[in-house]
Amino acid sequence: MSLGFHRDKGGRRRISNRQIDFLGWILFTLSASSFVVASIGNLWAMAGSLLFLLACLVFIIPFFRKD
């Protein structure tokens, strides 16, 4: 997987849609981690936060698998 910038025909650096998707999932994972920390002491909030974090990690898996 290449997460480097690509050059367009004009020579300018261009970020790919895959890179934007990956960045989005990383931000979602950081958000989920923050929810886990914020929900310490509340069982139902913690359960929901952990499920959200797990779902984010599952969606990141395809970025590391070879097609």
In a domain, 1, yes or no: no
Residue 14: inside a domain, yes or no?
Answer: yes
* pLDDT value at residue 10: 76
Q: What is the tally of structural domains in the chain?
A: 1
pLDDT tens, N- to C-terminus, the chain (67 residues): 555 666 777 777 788 888 999 999 999 999 999 999 999 999 999 999 999 999 999 999 999 988 7
User: Which range marks the domain in which residue 52 is found?
Assistant: 6-63
H helix count then E strand count, the chain: 2, 2
16, 9 Cβ separation under 8 angstroms: no
> In angstroms, rounded to a whole number, what is the distance separating the alpha carbons of residues 29 and 33?
6
Our CA dihedral for 23, 25, 31, 36, rounded to 10 degrees, sits at: -140
pLDDT of residue 3: 58
Q: Give the model's pLDDT for residue 52.
A: 95
Domain assignment present for residue 43? The answer is yes
